Amino acid sequence: MSVLPILQWPDPRLMEICAPIEAITSDIEALAADMLETMYAAPGRGLAGPQVGAMQRIFVMDAGWKEGKPDPLVCLNPMLQEVSEERATNSEGCLSIPGISADVSRPAQVQMVWTGLNGGRYVQSFTGFAAACVQHELDHLDGVVTLDHLDAQTRAALEAEYAA
């Protein structure tokens, strides 16, 4: 395992839509292990394939490890199955836009389906910070970053702060 370099915005790869993972290979297993090591070292709570230059539909997350024991999740080809009408606003940071956080409104609860490294299909509901984390990482797989959720004035101010 190794810590991978994390791409920094505005790297154009962060704006690309990722390809589905066709097969769980030893390369995918090694990528997942490296992504987890990178996420914990950063230290972050989630990391998506494009953030490390892997343009595939994979993300790792551990929403609560900073408050408790690690409980890592590796998600291949994740998709939202259900989203609540209720919304929640959270302050979101991003390992690819260090030092910047923004309030983002998202569905408060989501149900996601994904494939695990063992080839099994998983379905789980997420609420609170974990729901925001899942949606943030899914955004990365579709070429969307936190700044894309903001109004023009807020985005311009944060971009200026990031560039400074």
| Structure-token match 């390992």, residue found | 95
Is the distance from CB of 13 to CB of 50 less than 8 angstroms? yes
What pLDDT shows up at residue 163? Answer: 87
Whether residue 137 lies in the annotated active site: yes
- What CATH number should be reported for the domain whose range is 12-163? 3.90.45.10
What pLDDT shows up at residue 41? Answer: 96
**What are the distances in angstroms from CA 65 to CA 7, 49, 136?**
23, 20, 17
Counting Cα atoms < 13 Å in the Cβ hemisphere of 152 gives 0
What pLDDT shows up at residue 114? Answer: 98
Shortest CA distance to 114 belongs to which of 63, 71, 80, 72? 80
The residue from 29, 67, 137, 161 that is catalytic is 137
What pLDDT shows up at residue 68? Answer: 85
Q: Note down pLDDT in tens along the chain; length 164 residues.
A: 799 999 999 999 999 999 999 999 999 999 999 999 999 999 999 999 999 999 999 999 998 888 888 899 999 999 999 999 999 999 999 999 999 999 999 999 999 999 999 999 999 999 999 999 999 999 999 999 999 999 999 999 999 999 88
